[in-house]
Amino acid sequence: MSGISQPRLIVHGGAWNIPDELDTDHLNGVRRAVEQVYPALEKGMPALDAVEKAVNILEEDPTFDAGRGAFLNERGEIELDAMVMDGATLNFGAVAAVQNILHPVSLARRVMEKTEHHFLVGSGAQLFARRMNIPELGPEELLTERELSFYRKIKNDPTFYTRKPFEAHPMDTVGAVAMDIHGNLAVATSTGGTPRKLSGRVGDTPVVGAGAYADNHSGAVSATGWGESILRVLLSKTACDLFLAHSPGEAARKAIQILQQKARGLGGIIGINRSGEYAFAHNTRKMAFAYPRLSGQIIAQIKV
Ligand code: GLY
């Protein structure tokens, strides 16, 4: 790609039935990520750095199910998944089921850049984090009172099942998509997964084409929602492919239709097509997302 163009950035803070009293926290969280990262992107920050930085901000925010504030699994532990992908090279890094790390997306980026592999899981990913000198925190530093009491409530509830959280409880996977001034695309997605998930369960987030995909020749997309259904239709790659034949809005809506019709899925996507146009759609009641208009004004929305 040649020339300098105005960059793009869009972030999300999960698609689910967000209770009205939590709207403000979600809107503030996604807006803050754009406010803090977009000026650097305008000054020439590469897209990969921008998506990592934006997701780091969301991982630190206890509002969301990523990094601090993540759900607890069946054993009362936090296991985190994340992925980052470079649209210029199709290179990506991913980690799954890592513990005690505030920024799993940064660990995923190290996998991409410092190993000859793409995807590390569990104890191997943990060992790699130590080799990379990524700080490990005590489990209590990621844990919130909100998630501890939610876990205690559902721990022994035989009527609780995975799809239910999307109807009644938080599903706040976070993600960011950027196009830098050179026209390169990148994406990052990070999550704590689903509440009371089985230990070792991995959802869509770190799986290439499912939780994220980026290709300068089509576009870049980050997904959120019920991971098992997103995996079945490789939602992010599906949406990127649809960018080639449809307007960004149509492509995003069609991808969500495919999720709903083929996998009875629930979720949402944000994206940027190769021409730098924003795309978003969801079939959950709400999805929190934010992006800057060309005027510089930041739009933070919770519904399409
Ligand atoms: N979409 C996040 C998950 O299901 O793990």
Lowest mean per-residue pLDDT among 71-80, 152-161, 203-212: 152-161
Choose between 188 and 303: higher pLDDT.
Answer: 188
CA 192 – ligand 1 centroid, Å? 7
- Look at residue 124 and tell me if it is in a domain: yes
Number of domains in the chain: 1
Residues 2-28, mean pLDDT to the nearest whole number: 90
Banded model confidence at residue 143, pLDDT cuts 50, 70, 90: very high
Banded model confidence at residue 277, pLDDT cuts 50, 70, 90: very high
Residue whose CA is closest, atom 5 of ligand 1? 193
Q: Is the CB of 222 under 6 A from ligand 1?
A: no
- Look at residue 23 and tell me if it is in a domain: yes
Residue 1 and residue 199: Cα distance in Å, rounded? 43
Residues 200-223, mean pLDDT to the nearest whole number: 98
- Look at residue 94 and tell me if it is in a domain: yes
What number does the ligand 1 atom closest to the CA of 201 have? 5
Helices (H), 121-267: 122-131, 145-154, 164-168, 227-232, 235-243, 248-263
pLDDT of residue 159: 80
- Look at residue 70 and tell me if it is in a domain: yes
pLDDT of residue 166: 52
- Look at residue 3 and tell me if it is in a domain: no
Q: Is the CB of 99 under 6 A from ligand 1?
A: no
Query: By three-state DSSP, how is residue 83 classified?
Result: strand
- Look at residue 1 and tell me if it is in a domain: no
Reply yes or no on whether 173 is catalytic.
yes
Range of the structural domain that residue 291 is part of: 8-303
User: CATH number of the domain that 35 lies in?
Assistant: 3.60.20.30
